[in-house]
Structure 1
């Protein structure tokens, strides 16, 4: 495959048209059009839908662009690093991370990272679904308790745990009566299995409020609506000040937060730098470190 034609295709896809790509690269529009046409002919597929007023990637074009953009960027970084005699992190860095972790920590971490590495254009999107980082063009993903994926490797950033908490005025019943609970909409459980200082026990619950956000659930629990099952890192400061009390740890509910990247790809300088900064932000990997960043 012609690497130069592939680079021209990526240039056109990035700028959304032959004219804009030609102006950005200061190259003839006809040359770009010809080379992309030759690439399509060699692959036997159409990469662009050419309308009278718009140029759109086909499904095959989107799939190719998702793979080539990051690879060509890494190639450009490698040659620039060799030419400059160093390996300075630079270029676009796309990261996908879960909502709660992002809200608690990533705003502060991202700000300090770009101050340290001003040549990196960092972009963080927050969503709890397991994105396909290869198909969707992410350099790094942060996931909670990820499923095994042979395409990805990574490291554990930190470990957390789930605790049942309540307002101090709401007491853990001595008997089997159900307690009011604040839960997520998808929760259809009727009890929590807890490890308490007095031993294991089962606590029956009656959901009285369903909220999509864990931060919303914590706020409702602070108001005394009911008990809730929440990450320790999210409620650590409330437990320290007495705003909430812990009834016990949920049994069998470890939380591991991982940073993952494609196993077949050599790490670029920007990804390596961000991984090292994440590791430095959580040196012991304990929930208390996430709680401290969230409370700062």
Structure 2
């Protein structure tokens, strides 16, 4: 594929027109039009809908632009970095992070990053769903216990675990008596299995309240509605102060937060700098570090 033609297509798509692209790049409009037409012929695809004064990307054009625009930008940055003898983080950095981590820690991390790298325009969106990084133009995603994905690479930078907590005045149930419970999802409703010295023990629950946010769940537990399964990092300060008591660790795999980026993409200085910021914030990656960071 002709990379120069691909670069011209990206230029026209970014400026939404041949005329604007030609003026921005000080290039002849006819040359840009010819190069895009040659690219369409080589791909046997129509990349733009041409009609009247408007120029719109086709569905195939949008897909190509989503995948190539950032790659070309990174190639330009890499070339500029080599020419200048080093790469300084600059430009736009888009990150997707899960809800709870965003609510408790990302604001502080983002502020520290913005102060350390003023030439980077950081944008963080909160998503519990698995976003499509290529389609949505995301540079880095933070995911909880992600499924294997051969198109992404990264590392687990933080670990947590679940505990069952309640107010001290809520009696711990005995026998088959269900405990009033505040739950977040249907997965909570079958009962909770706790680790004990004698092996796993299942506790029956009566889900009296369902909420979509773990912070709301914690607030409801503090108000005395019932018990709940919550990350230890979220409630460690409440346990230490006596506002809540722990009934034990949940018998479930630990929670791991991963920072992931596309394996086919050059690792930009912006992404590297943010990964270093996460490592600096959580050098050991323990729940206690997250709790201390949240309470900072």
Deviation at 1:244, TM superposition (A): 1.3
Secondary structure (helix, strand or coil) at the match of 2:153 reads strand
Q: Contact (CA 8 Å) 1:66, 1:137: kept in 2 or not? A: yes
Aligned residue in 2 for 1:145: 145
1:182-221 equivalent positions in 2, closer than 5 A: 182-187=182-187, 189-196=189-196, 200-221=200-221
Secondary structure (helix, strand or coil) at the match of 1:258 reads strand
Aligned residue in 1 for 2:161: 161
Q: TM-score, normalised by structure 2?
A: 0.93
Aligned residue in 2 for 1:135: 135
Q: Contact (CA 8 Å) 2:185, 2:210: kept in 1 or not? A: yes
Deviation at 1:120, TM superposition (A): 1.6
1:107-122 equivalent positions in 2, closer than 5 A: 107-122=107-122
Secondary structure (helix, strand or coil) at the match of 1:253 reads coil
Range 197-206 or range 220-229, more displaced: 197-206
Structure 1 stretches of 4+ moved >6 Å: none
Q: TM-score, normalised by structure 1?
A: 0.93
1:53-68 equivalent positions in 2, closer than 5 A: 54-68=54-68
Q: CA RMSD in A?
A: 1.9
1:167-178 equivalent positions in 2, closer than 5 A: 167-178=167-178
Q: Deviations over 1:163-207 (max 9, x none)?
A: 111112112112220011111243462210012478642210011
Aligned length: 296
Deviation at 1:52, TM superposition (A): 3.4
- Which 5+ residue runs of structure 1 have no aligned equivalent? none
Whole-angstrom distance in 2 between the partners of 1:28 and 1:266: 31
Range 7-16 or range 190-199, more displaced: 190-199
Whole-angstrom distance in 1 between the partners of 2:29 and 2:243: 65
Q: Deviations over 1:132-188 (max 9, x none)?
A: 223332221111001111111111111100111111211211222001111124346
Deviation at 1:26, TM superposition (A): 4.1
Aligned residue in 1 for 2:33: 33
Whole-angstrom distance in 2 between the partners of 1:205 and 1:20: 63
Whole-angstrom distance in 2 between the partners of 1:51 and 1:228: 59
Whole-angstrom distance in 2 between the partners of 1:213 and 1:102: 12
Aligned residue in 1 for 2:92: 92
